[in-house]
Amino acid sequence: MTLERRIEAFIEEQKKHATGQRLEMLNRNQNLNGTRKLLALLWTVLKSFDGLILEYEMVSNTGVRIYIDIFHDPLVIGFEAEGFVAHEEKLTRERFSFERMRIRTLGNRQFTFYPFSWDEMDKTPDACRRDLYELIGSRRLIADSKLVKLPVYEREVLRFAIIRFLPFTMGDTRRCLHLGDDACRAVLRSLIAKGYIRRVGGSESRSYGFEITHEGRELFRSGMN
């Protein structure tokens, strides 16, 4: 199978599991031109699309939905394909501020933001590959960490918990994971059993909140260094 066909097959597979605005963005063929370039570049280094998520959705602290072109879930890297804007004054103030908020949201989640310009991918692909090899090599130990081996929803809850200064609730968990009560309870019970979060307030039968434990913080920090 040619690389072009692999890329198109991967995009179609991603669409099957997408809903709402994410699916709408994946269906905008023009929006994916840069993503296709980026997937071709990533393939030359990774030799696989395993662990990649297109148009990865996050919710900012202000409740705004934002998207990353390609997210490498095991390595916690957000890859972006960026076109060149010839004159910055063509950007609206609102768009300029939105892009900065978007980058801050990635930083708050402790994601690595890794952008490539279209020109770089077209004109200096060897340099782009060298950068990727260095990045992936530096993350090999992280890939073997206990944090990465946690189920993705449990990692997301720990990421959410570690940047909060206050306990979080079941409602916070639902908004973080976009899951129902039963699924969220299962995630929280698993994290409690592993000692990474604990109940605060309430009683044995009814918990008012949760907070990350010392063990949870150490797990997260060791997995990100």
Query: If we measure between CA atoms, which residue out of 119, 19, 30, 34 comes closest to residue 68?
Result: 34
Q: Tens of pLDDT along 135-170?
A: 887 765 555 567 777 888 998 898 888 776 678 999
- Output the average pLDDT for the chain: 84
Residue 192 to residue 186: CA distance in whole angstroms: 10
> What total of structural domains would you count in the chain?
2
- Give the structural domain span for 22: 3-144
Rounded to a whole number of angstroms, the CA Rg of the chain reads 19
- Boundary (domain end) residue, out of 144, 173, 203: 144
The whole-number average pLDDT for the span 65-85 is: 84
CATH number for the domain including 208? 1.10.10.10
Say yes or no: 120 and 29 in one domain: yes
Alpha carbons within 13 angstroms on the beta-carbon side of residue 29 total: 1
**200 pLDDT exceeds 70?**
yes
- Model pTM greater than 0.75? no
Say which residues have a Cβ less than 8 Å from residue 66's Cβ, sequence separation at least 6.
57, 58, 59, 60, 101, 102, 105
Is residue 47 domain-shared with residue 66, that is, in the same domain?
A: yes
- My answer on whether 12 and 68 are in the same domain is yes
- Report DSSP state, residue 207: -
